[in-house]
Structures are given as C-alpha cells and as structure tokens.
Amino acid sequence: MTTFTMNAQKPVAYDSPDHIQPWGTVNDNSINYCFNLKLMWWLPRPYLKVLDLGCAGGGFVKSLINSRCVAVGVEGSDYSQRMKRAEWATIPGNLFTADATAPFEISVHEGDRCEPMKFTVVTAWEFIEHIAEPNLDTVMRNIDRHLAPNGVVIMSVSPRDEIINGVRLHQTVAEKPWWLAKFESLGFTHHESVAEFFHRDWVRGGEDAPDSFYVVLTRRGESLPYPEQLIPLTEFYAKLEEYHPGGSAWFRR
C-alpha cells in the first residue's frame, strides 16, 4: 500500500493573509475534466504524479485520483482540514497543510521503503500571486525539491489585486512578462507552445478569472517530456473525434 507523509518546517501558514482571512480555501474546489483529458493525452497515466499547491478543497486532486493517477495536494491554511470541507473528508491521506514559503518535504511509503516523493507535474492554480516577492525563491525551491527530472510546472496567475474584508490576498501583483523574467531568474523556463496546447482548458481561469494567464515551466536546460504528444489543436480535435465522437464539442464550447 502506498501512503504519503508531510514534514513541514511551518505546518500551517499562520501569518499568511489567506489564513488570517480565509477565502480560496473556504470557497474553491475547482475541477476541469477537459484539462485532465488533455493532460493525460500529453503525459501517460502511469507517468503522471501530480502535486497541487494551494489545493483548497482538493477537488482537482480527487479528480486525478479518480482517473487512477497519483496526486497529492498542499494547502497553506488549515481551514478546510479542520472543517473536513470538500475532499478533505474523502481523501485526507492525499491532502496536507504546509506553509510553502518555508521548507517542506513529502515522502512516499511503500511497504518498508520510504523516500522523498518526486512529482512529474506540479500545479498551482491562482496560487503564486498570493506569495510576497521576497518569498518566491523559497516557494520555487520547494517546487524544485519535489520535481522529477524533466518535470513540468503548470500555473495560472492572476495579475490583479484581490482585497477581501480589507485584507490584501494577492501579495505580488504583476503582468506576465514580469513573472516570466522572475521564473527565468529562479532557474525555470516557460514553454508557450504547451500553454497553446491547453488553450482555454485550465482548472482555474476562464470565466471565473478572465484576466489570468498561464505558464508552463521546466527547469532551465531540461526538455519537455513526451513532446510528440503536443500535437496541434486541430489534430487533437480530429483524433478525439475518432475515439469519442462528439467529444471535441467540450473543447469548442
């Protein structure tokens, strides 16, 4: 049996605005099966091991587990954990709390064997803008620590302020060029071709966050995995119709 454990320097982000004024962790539980389908088209299911940072209610993690993928979520606030909200009541062994601005490590246990967990994909939906700029390097080091060789980081980023009940939740507010330069300075390179492959099918964004943009990162110098699967959208739709007649209507909505 496979189980996971968390070792965090700061188990809860007590001084984070998102814990002081819980909002996303109270309201969000986002799922987009169109994104999941494209992700599993690109990366084979046995290869997929996903870490979701800022997982809120854990819906995205649960949707992957239901598709027989390995998935773990990390949330800074313990609100959903304490309230057993959403998927914290159904998959507690795959959801953990930790302050991502301090070191943490997820381990995997299989029988008598225990080792640091490496994920092939790290996602962060409307998460990174909640981190103050001086702490971005620590967050990216945590990602690097958990990322497998040639792993991929997929993020949606809001460039807009968000103030709830007088508390400023978005601590780093900037447009896409600034973020891409920042990630490059921290050792990560963006791949616009992959963002184009996902088009408008993301777990967060779209109608609920129309100004958000998306980044797909690898460590600088590392190659994208399974690049042959990143086919043009027109070919993707055609192949999808072969396997699931009418299925491409989901993506053309």
Q: What is the pLDDT of residues 221-246, one digit of tens each?
A: 999 999 999 877 677 777 777 776 76
pLDDT at 253: 46
pLDDT over 90 at 185, yes or no: yes
Angstrom distance (rounded) from CA 236 to CA 225: 18
Q: pLDDT above 90 covers what percent of the chain?
A: 73
In whole angstroms, give the CA distance from residue 1 to residue 83. Answer: 27
Domain chopping of the chain, boundaries: 2-227
pLDDT of residue 85: 94
Dist CA 7 CA 232 (whole Å): 41
Instruction: State the average pLDDT for the chain.
Output: 91
187-208: average pLDDT: 87
Q: Give 167's pLDDT tier (boundaries 50, 70, 90).
A: confident
Q: What is the pLDDT of residue 20?
A: 79
Using pLDDT thresholds of 50, 70 and 90, give the confidence band for residue 64: very high
Q: What is the pLDDT of residue 209?
A: 65
Give the tens place of pLDDT for each residue, 73-97: 999 999 999 999 999 999 999 999 9
Average pLDDT over residues 173-189: 97
**2-227: CATH topology:** Rossmann fold (3.40.50)
User: Between 248 and 242, where is the model more confident?
Assistant: 242
What integer is the mean pLDDT of 14-40? 85
pTM of the model: 0.92
Q: Report which DSSP code applies to 10.
A: S
Residue with tokens 């389908």: 37
Q: For the range 135-138, what are the long-range contacts, defined as Cβ-Cβ under 8 Å and sequence gap of 24 or more? A: 135/101, 136/172, 136/182, 136/186, 137/186, 138/100, 138/101, 138/102, 138/103
The pLDDT value given to residue 204: 81
**For residue 163, is pLDDT > 90?**
no
Interval 92-121: pLDDT, tens: 999 999 999 999 999 999 988 999 999 999
Average pLDDT over residues 171-191: 97
Mean pLDDT of 206-224: 87
